[in-house]
Structure 1
């Protein structure tokens, strides 16, 4: 029997949606070069493997719980059913905030990159915000259409990204001026003062892998599709980025890697390709850099829209957020996210008029500020969800898959993620590029944490004023069906 129209996604489609959020070419050209430049440490390749191991442990319990909880709100439902309803609502608002920060922040680097390309190649003076508004419109169209259309678009873009990065990796290893170094894979190159900064930068490369559960209601077989897609994504991301970061150290040479990365930034990758394969190759890579960022924008947009849909369906937020298109896409949530992106972009555009930062303004403010705060929030969410997994199976021992998946792995994951969160908090000034104390170092984290507190308080109010709504918190389709039965 063919899957229902609402359940079109298989393992490959969900995996692509996850990997798209990490944006392979963006990680190599932007993330890896920045990490080498800022930290000066060579252990960046090993850091991806370490983070991959931590997130794989987290994914054990996360995947086990996904077999029993299918909800477009994912983290929200897990926390509600594993810890408590108030914590679930708090988690939902933190997730909405964090994904919005990540999605809108990425528009900053998109606008800068497109504006720079148009100026360099065609002599066109296009403001960064104009490029962003055009991109927001395209993302909005994909967001309100069939999700498998988005999956096909992302699949093509991600495949081309992988091709470019693979070409770069092979060439870098083949042309290694100082030979292929072993030092980047040595623990002594990573576990030294500054390791916190490396892990803080690196964790952003994995952001989005946890979004598999968000597509549970659109997967052909959620019990198998979601766990498999999650583990596939973690493994591919960890190994691929570790190899690519290692290739960069070989292609440049460890003796001058930090200096070159600091001087050229993302241009390091494109100048390498241009020098060995010609200007056309470099231009193609830069174009794919833009589409790489675009793929991440679409992925995070979908995540935000589905959280809004889930909360509207359960009446935790206004009911109109439950609206979907005839294809089943969360129309209202998508439009709200689009509106937020437009408003924030307009605000930064106005504030940046005449800024002394010049063309780099959207990168050093919109992108840097929002994405780092968003990544911090997502790590916090994963730590809380790890505890939720333990609570869920403790309350339902008949569903527990075994001690490892039900208790041990989630507990280990919670501790490890809490450590990563603490390292991000300790290095937040560095992540923001601040050289002296600034209100931003506590305002931005507060933007992530405060919604969680407000969510808990809102849930407690619902418990007093709307007990029927409170009772359905975190129960997705089951809760919606119960509500419809009451309204009939």
Structure 2
């Protein structure tokens, strides 16, 4: 009897002990994805910006993006069945383009999500500070204390079993969705059926100089649906749960925001909504709610906006922690980040590391005197660009993967060739728009654009260089990169 046979049970036990575990179903998984997009923050914050760029064409833009990302999901879902790893885009890029590109993609994902998530502490801090001091007449506590408090809360939740986060996110999402539906119904009812008809779907013109920015902001609202694959080890029946949750998330997000944009247009008027969004971007939603259903529901909306930011931050922290865990499990990051909590079966050390990173950054920028209003657009914009770039790379990796397999395992041409090609073209165009409009994306100067864009590309190519270093000096670690997880 050889040593491999003798050691097999031991290896199996170690593998099981170091696996994440959970019991999420389709609904909870979809709510995790929806939490990432932060529905109320999107309708109150991002959607007015999109209306400022697109006006009455906003619903059509959302429907177009939904269609394109559904096509992307065809290859994405097919890939999830072929590459059964919990590494998300990291596993997909590795399978399609090789280990160096996969490691570069993983660095993009990890830092991209950490950057996106850092929008939440300063935004939450400023929002809650204003609500407590102005609306409630309470003490004027500095924003950074609220920022540190929300970081502590999400870190405690991310430390625990994913089922706890899923239940909390589901409850918050249902409340957010409810208040937005109230706004939609009130808006459509306010001016009668004729107003609804006049706010019908209007297609954008490709000659419109601002349609590119509108498209870019709309795509950003869908980020996070990759989580359906990242939670592979923490869902029930992943081969059926993941595809259903992916398609439901994309369709649900697209239709939800398209209807909300349509409601804005119905309330303000198709010929006035763009000007209203330009003149009153920050308060467009709250003023509309106040005018439709009164100040009380508007104040409730502010409270739910605060909890929406918490839910969004928690969703992002869970995703970032799982990327850190996957990289640590492959020994590309320090191995202690790959520890699994013995009771909660969560990546608790990685979750703590993400929370500590956000807390340290909050303290650092506070000491440096950087205003929170400067922080959150830069954090969100630069992180979103990193994730968008990764999505484009992943779409190309999916195409390459299935093209290579056609000789030995030919499959549906639509799923493995046509849909991935359309995804590459669409995401390539959106990535180009992001590069061309990067200053608007981060709300910063040309200098900041150069710094953050250079850093983003350096992450990807730095990961490639690091992979080649591992191949030369640590071939055992290189062999593990992006490895298929054991089911």
Give yes or no for TM over 0.5: yes
Q: In the alignment, is residue 465 of structure 1 matched against residue 481 of structure 2?
A: no
Structure 1 equivalent of residue 4 of structure 2 = none
Q: In the alignment, is residue 344 of structure 1 matched against residue 361 of structure 2?
A: yes
Whole-angstrom distance in 2 between the partners of 1:390 and 1:255 = 42
Structure 2 equivalent of residue 176 of structure 1 = 191
Whole-angstrom distance in 2 between the partners of 1:65 and 1:188 = 32
Task: Normalising by structure 2, report the TM-score.
Answer: 0.91
Structure 2 equivalent of residue 161 of structure 1 = 176
Whole-angstrom distance in 1 between the partners of 2:110 and 2:20 = 27
Structure 2 equivalent of residue 91 of structure 1 = 105
Q: In the alignment, is residue 27 of structure 1 matched against residue 42 of structure 2?
A: yes
1:404 to 414, 417, 424: 414
Q: How far off is 1:16 after superposition?
A: 0.8
The SS at the match of 2:465 is helix
Q: In the alignment, is residue 187 of structure 1 matched against residue 197 of structure 2?
A: no
> Does the 8 Å CA contact 2:199/2:262 hold for their aligned counterparts?
no
The SS at the match of 1:185 is coil
Structure 1 equivalent of residue 309 of structure 2 = 293
Q: In the alignment, is residue 108 of structure 1 matched against residue 125 of structure 2?
A: no
Structure 2 equivalent of residue 356 of structure 1 = none
> Does the 8 Å CA contact 2:36/2:316 hold for their aligned counterparts?
yes
CA distance 1:316–1:121, shift in 2 (3 Å): same
The SS at the match of 2:55 is coil
2:347 to 330, 348, 354: 330
Whole-angstrom distance in 2 between the partners of 1:253 and 1:269 = 14
> Does the 8 Å CA contact 2:380/2:442 hold for their aligned counterparts?
no
Q: How far off is 1:18 after superposition?
A: 0.5
1:429 to 405, 420, 439: 439
Paired residues for 1:135-150 under 5 Å: 135-150=150-165
> Does the 8 Å CA contact 1:70/1:217 hold for their aligned counterparts?
no
The SS at the match of 1:41 is helix
Structure 1 equivalent of residue 13 of structure 2 = none
2:227 to 201, 207, 211: 211
Structure 2 equivalent of residue 58 of structure 1 = 72
> Does the 8 Å CA contact 1:181/1:249 hold for their aligned counterparts?
no
1:125 to 140, 153, 174: 140
Q: How far off is 1:71 after superposition?
A: 2.6
Query: Once the two structures are superposed, what CA deviation does each residue of 1:395-449 show, in whole Å capped at 9, x if it has no partner?
Result: 4446654111112111210111010010111111222335xx5211121222322
Paired residues for 1:414-453 under 5 Å: 414-434=424-444, 438-453=446-461
Query: Once the two structures are superposed, what CA deviation does each residue of 1:255-290 show, in whole Å capped at 9, x if it has no partner?
Result: 332333234334222222223333221111110111
Name which of structure 1's ranges 154-163 and 335-344 shifts more when overlaid on structure 2: 335-344
The SS at the match of 1:42 is helix
CA distance 1:185–1:331, shift in 2 (3 Å): same
> Does the 8 Å CA contact 2:22/2:161 hold for their aligned counterparts?
no
Structure 2 equivalent of residue 44 of structure 1 = 58
Q: How far off is 1:350 after superposition?
A: 2.3
Structure 2 equivalent of residue 368 of structure 1 = 377
Q: In the alignment, is residue 302 of structure 1 matched against residue 318 of structure 2?
A: yes
Q: How far off is 1:189 after superposition?
A: 5.6
> Does the 8 Å CA contact 2:35/2:312 hold for their aligned counterparts?
yes
Structure 1 equivalent of residue 395 of structure 2 = 386
1:275 to 291, 308, 314: 291
> Does the 8 Å CA contact 2:173/2:308 hold for their aligned counterparts?
yes
Whole-angstrom distance in 1 between the partners of 2:456 and 2:295 = 42
Structure 2 equivalent of residue 247 of structure 1 = 263
CA distance 1:40–1:413, shift in 2 (3 Å): closer
Q: CA RMSD of the aligned region, Å? A: 2.0
Whole-angstrom distance in 2 between the partners of 1:183 and 1:118 = 37
Whole-angstrom distance in 1 between the partners of 2:206 and 2:157 = 41
> Does the 8 Å CA contact 1:183/1:189 hold for their aligned counterparts?
no
The number of residue pairs the alignment matches comes to: 465
Whole-angstrom distance in 2 between the partners of 1:166 and 1:88 = 41
Q: How far off is 1:24 after superposition?
A: 1.0
Query: Once the two structures are superposed, what CA deviation does each residue of 1:180-201 show, in whole Å capped at 9, x if it has no partner?
Result: 2546622246762211110111
> Does the 8 Å CA contact 1:57/1:412 hold for their aligned counterparts?
yes
The SS at the match of 1:63 is helix
Whole-angstrom distance in 2 between the partners of 1:453 and 1:375 = 18
> Does the 8 Å CA contact 1:181/1:254 hold for their aligned counterparts?
no
Unpaired segments ≥5 residues, structure 1: 354-360, 482-488
Task: Normalising by structure 1, report the TM-score.
Answer: 0.91
> Does the 8 Å CA contact 1:21/1:299 hold for their aligned counterparts?
yes
Whole-angstrom distance in 2 between the partners of 1:283 and 1:164 = 11
Whole-angstrom distance in 2 between the partners of 1:53 and 1:28 = 20
Whole-angstrom distance in 1 between the partners of 2:92 and 2:204 = 38
> Does the 8 Å CA contact 2:172/2:311 hold for their aligned counterparts?
yes
